[in-house]
Amino acid sequence: MGDVVTPGKDDDNACVARADGGEDDDVVVVLYDAAVTDAFRATGSPSASPRRASTAADDEDVMTVDRVKPKYLPEFSMKSYYGVEERGESSPERATKRRRDGKPLELEIDGTAREPTKEIAIGGVYVKFPAKINPHPAQRMTMAKIIDALKKSQHAMIESPTGTGKTLALLCSTLGWLEREKEAYKKSAAKVRDMHEAWSVARKKYEDALIAFGHRNDKDKASTVKAEYGDGWDASRPFTCKTDVPPPPRVYVCSRTHSQIEQILRELKRTGYAPKYTVLSSRQRLCPLKKSDADCQDMLGDGLTQQERITSCAHYNRHEYVADHMNKYAEKNCAWDMEDFNRVVNEFSACSFFALRNLQATSEIVFCPYNYLFDHNVRRKMKLDIAGAAVIIDEGHNIEDVCRSGTSIELSMAQVAEAIAAFNAQSIKSAPGYYADVYQFLLKISHFLERIIGNTWEGQKEVVVRSHEIVGCVIDMLGEHAVELVRNLIKTPDNAKPTHNGPLTTYMNLCEDIANILHLVTKTPESYVIIIGRSVDINGEECEGMCISCMEPKVGFSTVAEQARCVILTSGTLSPMNTFEAELGVEFPIKIEAPHVVPTSQVYVELSDAIGEVTYKATSGVGASRFAQNLGKYLLEYAKVIPGGMLVFFPKYSLIDVTLREWHTSRLFAQISDQKHIVCESRGAAGFVDTLAEFNRGNATGKGSLMLAVFRGKVSEGIDFKDDSARAVFCVGIPFPNVFDVKVKTKRDFNDLPKSRQKGMLTGSAWYSAQAYRAYNQALGRCIRHPKDYAALFLVDARFREGGQYMMNNISKWIRKSVTACGSVNESVRNVDEFFKRTKKMLLEKEIKTESTDADVDETQNPESPVEYKAHRNENIFNAIGCEGNRKLCDAMDALHQAALSCEEPMRVNAIAKATTSIRALTYKVTNGSKLAKQGPGKVQGVGPSIGAQIDYFLEHDKFERMEYYLRGERMPH
């Protein structure tokens, strides 16, 4: 068993849980305090609550504010802060005009300052895209497939290599669709309202008619009225108009970490859209006072009077002003990012956590890390309503792990003992109801763990309980009333639970989390394994406890996929998609692998065998020392010829430590430092911003930096190192999971079971490899981020050379095409030097050529492949026509193009050729619209008569979907 943590409680622990190699400290768990929000709703807004008249009691309350007010706030009373004394009111409008120092707030929102956009027709939706960018095929394919999935409510998997502008495509297409849905929603809501109104009028007439007859209870007369008005007007059926207003469209846009969400928000500002949205994050991350969940709850909890609740946290009192201000962005056709939000929060000295929670009620889009949706306990606590919502997951390559960990839990004996001690200290263990259930639950778990761990023979680390024994194990743990006990813990409504009880809140939440996972265990025992025993955690300390580990990601994924309108997974590394699909247990009817935007001439990839000792055999003891020395000498040579920054990825932190130590003991550190500024990725989230800043500082000097980082760490996923910030990536070793980790071992065994094989899941070893290569490909994709970028990638592991094509199949397709190998470091360094000089010159020449020509077709983008070239031609035809011409025809052309691009090889070549011919004909039709419109069907020029007539037919009858099938050479299913 690995390290034992309390999921849902502690970010740092969550980080430690994944720290074997890399971790994501930014994905934090939120404890959502429903009681506080409910209390807040009941109280009304701070602005609406009574700001105190000048009585003795008021002075006390003002003192209460001062008591919790942070020290940096000036000594103003709440009244003077809001201008109550001077103005006699405390409206948000007043507050937005004044700051504590009396100067006006500078929070202007300027909608005209946004980047200009153009409209592009994609899959029947008009998408606003930044005007100065022509979406390239990868972006077009991504947008078309996202719109297709949203329109058809189907799950989709979209693999688009890193650096292809996937996030922008994702946002523009989703927001374009959302705009359209909002319009449709407004119309249908208005229609339903009209129906309700008409029904009310008719009902009134019926009532009046009954009264007019004078005898409401006269059966004969009543039946005469009924006969005239029809059935269904009885008072016993107060409202028979069955149609309800449909729920407004809602989208969850998720990524892996908060820093990736911040990047998405920055991209959102580049689009032409201004939706209402919020970002979900934890109190731990957002509270300006750095209060814990329990502390915050105590400050705002039910035990306080209404007045105390309003004033016990001054930041809380002002959060509504921030929400009001952020809502103004949408009104003024603007979008905001976290920098804008933090600026507003600072100006108001308000609570960011509750401001963002407040925005959730009116949000059309919710941004959050995807573990919030797929972690069973977090989703429940945050009361995220995903029914009917579209869920879009960016950087979804880790979704399997997140789904499995979101439906698993780890618990140490120390935690259980602490919780029992807390109950004993409060002397409420014998209190009836919920307290008693929680206390009994803890005692039973404690006794069970002591018994099982005590009975293990010396040398045995774990007891693994597998699927067929699981239900028996749960009954053994909780007794014969196990099901009832679990149900009581999870079904007790929030308002029936004790609140404002200090440390006990944490333990009650923990018990509820365990009960929820046990509930899932009893529902799907075949998907679980329980591991009980003593193990060594990440700090090297022995730790005893239990891990209830979910083996199938589908348990977590399907709960979301079944409720949501659709789930769209996007990432640069989703392949192999069919096994990914099998692991998630949900069918993805829409799948696509988009091409990379960078031609192969701009990528140098080397199977680095020149220092054969830098391999799997040389990572410990004497081998590690030799490895570090060799690696240092090797990097030193490359550092002399590589311009800009260099990234070096290692499988684990300990290897970085060894490497640095060895470099310091020899002259290597100083020698490399002469060429590049050496920076090392720090463990954990703290310090990461500083590390990155140091790396950028080194690059800014012109010398360049060399970053030593780990696979699966913050540097390896989600951070863009474009242009000179990183011109080379060295992937040292392959980041296979720890083969001795009991969780890894049980998962491999599970995948090898016949029932898993029948479901189409990967074999144990294939799953094990897939974990490693996803992380590997993510790291390789850090440094090519746009079509004019170029870089050298080094696969530093002799196994690639030895394994040949079999090994290479694990590497992303766009990298595989460019692989080379050299006999010696000297030869390799020469090649690399030439590559950088040649590519720089080529791009410079292209730039000059592009500036000096006014060609309709941008042939510089990718003239190498005839297929891609034709796709580019098609794309440029769209851009030339835009939406100026006949919109229906533009849609048709787009459908042709997308259908052709999404075809599998070898049909893709033919489909693009066919589409090119048809599009040329359609272009002619668009540009000569009025003349050709008169010619009628069958007159499309430039294509054969049968294709032309067929396309005409589709166009005339709006049969775009059939046209797609036609172009693919397939029959449309009925």
Residues of this chain that bind ligand SF4 (CB under 6 A): 283, 287-289, 291, 296, 299-300, 313, 315-316, 351, 353-354
Distance in Å, CB of 900 to ligand SF4, minimum: 53
Residue 293 or residue 681: which is nearer to ligand SF4 going by CB?
Answer: 293
CA 364/CA 275 separation, integer angstroms: 7
CB distance 928 to 943 below 8 Å: no
Distance in Å, CB of 42 to ligand SF4, minimum: 16
Distance in Å, CB of 26 to ligand SF4, minimum: 19
Distance in Å, CB of 109 to ligand SF4, minimum: 24
CA 395/CA 264 separation, integer angstroms: 11
Distance in Å, CB of 46 to ligand SF4, minimum: 11
3-state secondary structure 606-622: EECCCCCCCCCCCCCHH
Helix/strand/coil for 196: helix
Distance in Å, CB of 62 to ligand SF4, minimum: 18
Residue 297 or residue 575: which is nearer to ligand SF4 going by CB?
Answer: 297
CB distance 634 to 610 below 8 Å: yes
Residue 30 or residue 386: which is nearer to ligand SF4 going by CB?
Answer: 30
CB distance 781 to 719 below 8 Å: no
Distance in Å, CB of 379 to ligand SF4, minimum: 21
CB distance 796 to 828 below 8 Å: no
> Residues 914, 170, 760, CA angle at the centre, nearest 5°?
80
CA 9/CA 490 separation, integer angstroms: 18
Distance in Å, CB of 289 to ligand SF4, minimum: 5
Distance in Å, CB of 36 to ligand SF4, minimum: 8
CA 871/CA 865 separation, integer angstroms: 10
Its sign, for the CA torsion 32, 36, 42, 43, is negative
Residue 10 or residue 207: which is nearer to ligand SF4 going by CB?
Answer: 10
Stretch (H or E) spanning 317 = helix 314-317
Who's near 70: CB < 8 A, 6+ residues apart? 288, 289, 349
Distance in Å, CB of 314 to ligand SF4, minimum: 8
Distance in Å, CB of 13 to ligand SF4, minimum: 20
CA 698/CA 799 separation, integer angstroms: 33
Q: Enumerate the β-bridge partners of residue 51.
A: none
CA 796/CA 397 separation, integer angstroms: 23
Residue 356 or residue 791: which is nearer to ligand SF4 going by CB?
Answer: 356
Residue 288 or residue 388: which is nearer to ligand SF4 going by CB?
Answer: 288
Helix/strand/coil for 421: helix
CA 313/CA 296 separation, integer angstroms: 8
Residue 354 or residue 439: which is nearer to ligand SF4 going by CB?
Answer: 354
Q: Which residue has the tokens 């990379």?
A: 596
Distance in Å, CB of 286 to ligand SF4, minimum: 7
Helix/strand/coil for 792: strand
Q: At what angle do helices 960-968 and 907-927 cross, to 10 degrees?
A: 140
Residue closest to 798 by CA, chosen among 657, 969, 630, 647: 630
Residue 296 or residue 729: which is nearer to ligand SF4 going by CB?
Answer: 296
Residue 294 or residue 706: which is nearer to ligand SF4 going by CB?
Answer: 294
Structure tokens at 121: 């027709």
Residue 299 or residue 445: which is nearer to ligand SF4 going by CB?
Answer: 299
Residue 95 or residue 551: which is nearer to ligand SF4 going by CB?
Answer: 95
Distance in Å, CB of 361 to ligand SF4, minimum: 17
Residue 310 or residue 646: which is nearer to ligand SF4 going by CB?
Answer: 310
Distance in Å, CB of 32 to ligand SF4, minimum: 12
Q: Which residue has the tokens 């909890």?
A: 301
Residue closest to 527 by CA, chosen among 572, 466, 446: 466
> Residues 603, 608, 610, CA angle at the centre, nearest 5°?
135
Q: Which residue has the tokens 């997974």?
A: 569
Residue 29 or residue 351: which is nearer to ligand SF4 going by CB?
Answer: 351
Distance in Å, CB of 969 to ligand SF4, minimum: 59
Distance in Å, CB of 295 to ligand SF4, minimum: 7
CA 14/CA 27 separation, integer angstroms: 8
DSSP string, 352-375: HHHHHHHHHTT-SEEEEETHHHH-
Residue 354 or residue 730: which is nearer to ligand SF4 going by CB?
Answer: 354
Give the count of beta carbons closer than 10 Å to the beta carbon of residue 401: 16
Distance in Å, CB of 284 to ligand SF4, minimum: 9
Residue 8 or residue 698: which is nearer to ligand SF4 going by CB?
Answer: 8
Who's near 479: CB < 8 A, 6+ residues apart? 444, 485
Report in angstroms the alpha-carbon separations of 313 from 56, 68, 293: 21, 6, 13
Pairing of strands 156-159, 566-571: parallel
Structure tokens at 656: 């970085």
> Residues 71, 72, 77, CA angle at the centre, nearest 5°?
75
Distance in Å, CB of 495 to ligand SF4, minimum: 21
Helix/strand/coil for 532: strand
CA 935/CA 62 separation, integer angstroms: 81
Report in angstroms the alpha-carbon separations of 899 from 148, 599, 742, 916, 970: 11, 23, 46, 12, 11
CB distance 330 to 275 below 8 Å: yes
Residue 9 or residue 872: which is nearer to ligand SF4 going by CB?
Answer: 9
Residue 64 or residue 154: which is nearer to ligand SF4 going by CB?
Answer: 64
Residue 141 or residue 356: which is nearer to ligand SF4 going by CB?
Answer: 356
